Amino acid sequence: MDADAFAAFEERGDAFDPETARALEAHILSRGGSEEAAALYERFRGRLPGVEALLKGRGLLDAA
């Protein structure tokens, strides 16, 4: 989940993108355990996390 969340920043071209950071804070960090993690994450990314970013980060998937 964390690799996929970081991929959201990479997709914006900035690891410190303010808009993505605000969305992460609003949809996940500030909500704590108030709802199921999957529901919170889906609000942040618009989908459930995928494994592709994790595999790419570990060198198990082409970076293409």
Provide the pLDDT for residue 63.
Answer: 62
Provide the pLDDT for residue 17.
Answer: 98
Nearest to 44 by CA among 19, 26, 18, 17: 26
33-60 per-position pLDDT tens digit: 899 999 999 999 999 999 999 999 999 9
Q: What is the pTM of this model?
A: 0.84
Encoded amino acid at 21, one letter = A
Distance CA 36, CA 54 (A): 22
